[in-house]
Every structure is written in C-alpha cells, then in structure tokens.
A and B are shown apart, each in its own frame.
Chain A
Amino acid sequence: MSIDMTKPLPETQPWTQAFWDGTREGKLLVQVCRQCQARIFAPRKRCPQCWSSDLGWIESAGRGTVYTFSTAYSGVEPKFTDELPYTIAYVDLAEGIRLMTRIVGCDPAELAIGMEVEVVFHDRDGFRLPYFRPAQNGNADE
C-alpha cells in the first residue's frame, strides 16, 4: 500500500452542493429551516430539529470567534506535512453555527480563544474551503 499524497476534497452529498457552490462564489452559506427557523450545520437533507424538507440558505457575514484551536507541528498525515505548522479551530459564526476550519494569517503564538476572525477561501482542486484569519477592516477576499 503506497502512501496517498493527494489532498482530500470534501465528500459531498446532493444537499450540500449549494454550500460548496456558494464558496466558489465567495459566499459562506448557512443552511436554515424555513419551517422552524433552525440554523443547521452540517447541512442536512432534512431539518434535524423538525424533519422539514423545506430548507434554504442564508449568506453569512463571514465573521466569527474562535471557540478552540490546536496548532499541529507533527503527527499529521503525510499528505499534509508540507503545510506544517497549521492550526485547526472551531469557529462560532455570528449566524449561530460552529464549524471546523483552519486559521491562517496569524502567528500561532498570537492565537487565542475568543479572537475575532473572518472567512477567507482556500482553493483546492475545484473546491474553495472556508478558512479564517484574524478579523480586519475591509474586504475579506483572499
């Protein structure tokens, strides 16, 4: 068995396609239930609160705060060693969902829980992954 060095792409479902289409347009979308108004992450086929299939999307302002983080120095898969060190975080969006992401554009020593961050999109083979960087004033495009 050879070591797979291909960077993984999100394994999508039909009902998550809109999320990834959104990132390609520079939009961070949050799934919402039109029946019970739940904000949903990860996106579902049916609302996890009320099982409604009447689901839609709102565009996030792309701002949030760091709930927790961990900066990797070693011990990751070979396909990611070229990116070390890197920081994985949970970010709470203002729209009420929490997602796993990367924090970029920040010295790991400066990172802190509660830090305000904003989305930047990272290109990977046809996908754009939502990463976050310390919040700045102005446009959030990378």
Chain B
Amino acid sequence: MSDIAIVGIGEVPTARLPERTPWDIIYDTCIEAVEDSGIGKDEIQGVVSVAPVGQPVISGELAFGLLPERLGLKGVRDSAMVNAGGASTSNALRLAEQWIASGIADSVLVQQVTVFSTMPVAEQIDVFARAGIDMQWEYPYGTTYNIIMGLLATRYMYESGASPEEMASVVTALRSWAEHDPHSLFYGRPAPSVDQVLGSDMLNTPLHKRESNVLADGGAALVVVSARRARELGGPAAYKLGESARYFSGTCVERDFGTMADGWRVTAEEAMARAGVTREDIDLWNVYLAYPLAHPQMAESLGVAPPGEGARFFAKGRMSFGGDIAWSTIGDAPGRGHTGSGVGTATYVETARQLMGRAGQRQVPDCRFAYQNTAGGSGFNNIATIWGREA
C-alpha cells in the first residue's frame, strides 16, 4: 500500500549554459512541476532541496530557506536541505513522506539544481578529487573517482570474463536512450559505437574517456502528496510502493565488492517484497550508478542477467533503446550528462514520467511498475525503491 505519490514533474534540458543561473533553473523547474501537479502554488506546504555537489553559494541559500520566499510559496510551513551525495533525492522523498505522514505538510516540493559550467576548473578538480575518497588512506596515493571505478571494473572483468568490447557496449546502450531524450546533453546525437568507445583515450585501466562522464548543468523538481490526495487529484501519478536500503562503507577500500553486489540484490528483493511485486512485474529497471562500468554487476544483482552475463546482455543490445529490457531510460549520468546529485533527481523524474505515460519515444509500453535505485558518494550505500502507476 502506497503512502506517497509524485503528481507533478518539472525539468530543464541538461546542458553547459553558463548564462543560465541556478535561480533561473529553480524558477523554471519548480513552477513547471507545481503547474503540472494541478495543485495551487500556495497549497505547497513544504520545500525540500537536494544538496548539490560542490555548489557552496546556492547550497547555503537553499539550506537556509530562500526558495519559498523567492517563488512566493505563501503556504510553506517548513524548508530543508538533505545531503547523502547521489542518494540525496531518495532522502528528500523520505523527508517529504515523513512531513506528509506527520501532518507537517500535505504537499511537498522537492527540487535539485546544479551549475558546473561556471565553476573554475581548478575547483572542479579539487571537489571531485576529494569527495568520497579518504584523506588519509586513499587520497595521498593519487586516486580519483575514475580510478575507484577502474578498481571495481578490473575485478568484475576478472571474475566474469567480460571483454573490453562487452564493457564498452554499456556506453552504447546508455547513450542510445540519451539520443532520444530531449533533456539529455546528448539529445539527437548518435550513440558512440563500441569501437568509438574503445578508441577514446585510456584514462585509467579499464576506463576509457567515453566510459567516464561529462559535467553539465541541470535541475529538476517533483511535487509529492499523499497517495490518497493523488487519487483525489485524478491525474497520472507515480506511487511509491516499496523501499529498502543498505549501508556499505564510507571508505572505498573498506567496501568489499561482494558485499556491495549482495546488498544491491537484497535491497531489490526487499523493496519488491514490500511492494508486493516480483521481478517479472517490473517493466522498467531505472538504475542510477553514475558510471557505465558498474551496470553489468547491477544487472546480475537484480537478476536481470544471470551471474557473469551482465556485460554480455548489454553487448547483445538487450538494454539499448529498442531492446527487450527497459534499462536506465535516461542513460544514467553517461547519457544525461553529469549534474552531481542531480542525476538521482533526474532518474526519479524519469521514473514518474514513464509511469505517467509521458516519456515520448522512450516510453516503456504499458509501464506499470518501475525499480529505481540511488547510491551516494563513491557507493557508500544503495537505496532501492519500487514505484507503480497505481496505489
């Protein structure tokens, strides 16, 4: 039985547009989401901001309550920001759920904004070199986010026997969705072939440049109400049906890959059990992992692919646009463009859009149930959720 539902969504195209300020994005996404919900602006009683990565000025403004005032949301009773890196949006939705359950607010606006294009390069490098990496036991060795992913992928390829070509095909699959996504940095641009991925520079083994991410600007907003209210409103909605989470570790080297893969499996099973659905019921696997090379392991943990076969499923095109498995239909960060914690928000918007039947060319036919996860930091946790188009 569902407690909350997403009844309105708003989103700007992901792009590198320095002239588009954070507040410009906030106005557009929040007003679009509220108008989409059919709820009056002064009926919004709570605002939860998803903490952006490496954006100290806008973070301070949002954390300390500037948004309701700026947007003239006269009915707001409280405003807050939540931060768990890439898992922030899941927590923003949980806070909305708690406010609704406790009577603090009937309708909650959840929003995220990130602008990387105006950030000096030195600052970008500094933020991404340190975030999620231990300052005593990892950083002095010269590690990076890309290297953390390389360590995971090297081990996965060793255990599964997946080839570089099969791993590269994940990029082709994710970008094939982005090609058809008007909100993607890569909208309308043909997905790179496996040869093009493998022909790009090697950043760190086994990660090629096209297997990493492009930083970009973006933002999105969601209107959350109780499931009862969503039914009363009568429009299309995405109902939250089940959830499960596991914590792994904050320090990369203390995170055993087997424990993590098992946590991905267990959280999906628990979330599905709470939602009263089985794997066969899931129409969309909306996976968020930030890097393509982790997707094959996730496909195996979710039971979408047999053990050791995840990368081969991507290579066969099964998770691509037009394939038989609807998987990460915004293409995760490699497809959408990396907006830090905003990719998690964008993935929830896509979950809602698919369940509302409004995903255009990417629409999953008769989409009734969606799995969606988020993970924070360099993978310190996994939050699995199940969403449905009916309560």
Judged by a CB distance under 8 angstroms, whether B140 is at the interface is: yes
CB–CB B151/A86 < 8 A: no
Q: Given the complex of chains A and B, what is the CA–CA distance between A72 and B209 in angstroms?
A: 12
Q: Given the complex of chains A and B, what is the CA–CA distance between A83 and B212 in angstroms?
A: 21
Judged by a CB distance under 8 angstroms, whether A126 is at the interface is: no
Least CB separation from A86: chain B residue:
B142
Least CB separation from A112: chain B residue:
B158
| Distance of B321 from chain A, by nearest CB (Å) | 28
What bracket does the count of chain A residues touching chain B fall in? 35 or more
CB–CB A78/B125 < 8 A: yes
Q: Which residues of A contact B137 (CB under 8 A)?
A: 10, 41-42, 99-100
Q: Which residues of A contact B155 (CB under 8 A)?
A: 67-68, 113
CB–CB A1/B123 < 8 A: yes
Q: Given the complex of chains A and B, what is the CA–CA distance between A41 and B138 in angstroms?
A: 12
Judged by a CB distance under 8 angstroms, whether B66 is at the interface is: no
Q: Which of B7-15, B55-63, B197-205, B225-233 contacts A (4 or more CB under 8 A)?
A: B197-205
CB–CB A90/B253 < 8 A: yes
Judged by a CB distance under 8 angstroms, whether A139 is at the interface is: no
Q: Given the complex of chains A and B, what is the CA–CA distance between A102 and B151 in angstroms?
A: 12
Judged by a CB distance under 8 angstroms, whether B150 is at the interface is: yes
CB–CB A1/B122 < 8 A: yes
Q: Can you add 4 more A-B contacts, CB < 8 Å, to A1-B120, A100-B137?
A: A70-B205, A83-B142, A86-B142, A88-B143
Least CB separation from B212: chain A residue:
A75
| Distance of B159 from chain A, by nearest CB (Å) | 9
Least CB separation from A1: chain B residue:
B122
| Distance of B86 from chain A, by nearest CB (Å) | 20
Least CB separation from B155: chain A residue:
A68
CB–CB B136/A70 < 8 A: no
CB–CB B143/A100 < 8 A: yes
CB–CB A70/B138 < 8 A: no
Q: Which residues of B contact A16 (CB under 8 A)?
A: 136
Q: Given the complex of chains A and B, what is the CA–CA distance between A135 and B149 in angstroms?
A: 26
CB–CB A100/B252 < 8 A: yes
Number of interface residues of B (CB under 8 A): 40
Residues of A within 8 A of B (CB): 1-4, 7-13, 16, 41-42, 67-78, 80, 83, 86, 88-90, 98-102, 108, 113, 124, 127, 129
| Distance of B348 from chain A, by nearest CB (Å) | 29
CB–CB A68/B154 < 8 A: yes
Least CB separation from A83: chain B residue:
B142
CB–CB B142/A108 < 8 A: no
Q: Given the complex of chains A and B, what is the CA–CA distance between A90 and B136 in angstroms?
A: 15
- Supposing A2-B122, A11-B135, A70-B147 touch, asked if A75 and B204 sit within 8 A by C-beta, the answer is yes
List B residues 190-244 near A (Cβ within 8 Å).
201-207, 209, 212
Chain B contact surface mostly: helix
CB–CB A69/B154 < 8 A: yes
Interface residue from A3, A8, A74, A88 paired with B151 (Cβ < 8 Å): A88
| Distance of A82 from chain B, by nearest CB (Å) | 10
CB–CB B203/A75 < 8 A: yes
Interface residue from B129, B158, B204, B254 paired with A70 (Cβ < 8 Å): B204
Among B135, B137, B142, B150, residue most surrounded by chain A Cβ atoms (within 10 Å): B142
CB–CB B251/A42 < 8 A: yes
- Supposing A70-B151, A72-B147, A73-B203 touch, asked if A129 and B120 sit within 8 A by C-beta, the answer is no
Least CB separation from A12: chain B residue:
B136
Q: Given the complex of chains A and B, what is the CA–CA distance between A89 and B137 in angstroms?
A: 12
Q: Which residues of A contact B158 (CB under 8 A)?
A: 68, 113
Among B137, B138, B207, residue most surrounded by chain A Cβ atoms (within 10 Å): B137
Least CB separation from B149: chain A residue:
A70
Q: List 7 A-B contacts (CB under 8 A).
A: A3-B122, A10-B140, A70-B207, A74-B204, A89-B151, A129-B140, A129-B141
CB–CB A8/B139 < 8 A: yes
- Supposing A99-B253, A100-B141, A101-B141 touch, asked if A69 and B151 sit within 8 A by C-beta, the answer is yes
CB–CB A13/B203 < 8 A: no
Q: Given the complex of chains A and B, what is the CA–CA distance between A34 and B158 in angstroms?
A: 37
CB–CB A72/B136 < 8 A: no
Interface residue from B126, B153, B204 paired with A71 (Cβ < 8 Å): B204
Q: Given the complex of chains A and B, what is the CA–CA distance between A78 and B204 in angstroms?
A: 15
Q: Given the complex of chains A and B, what is the CA–CA distance between A34 and B257 in angstroms?
A: 28
Q: Which residues of B contact A70 (CB under 8 A)?
A: 147, 150-151, 153-154, 204-207
| Distance of B21 from chain A, by nearest CB (Å) | 20
Q: Which residues of A contact B142 (CB under 8 A)?
A: 72, 76-77, 80, 83, 86, 88, 102
Among A41, A75, A124, residue most surrounded by chain B Cβ atoms (within 10 Å): A75
Judged by a CB distance under 8 angstroms, whether B146 is at the interface is: yes
Q: Given the complex of chains A and B, what is the CA–CA distance between A110 and B158 in angstroms?
A: 15
CB–CB B154/A113 < 8 A: yes
Least CB separation from B209: chain A residue:
A75
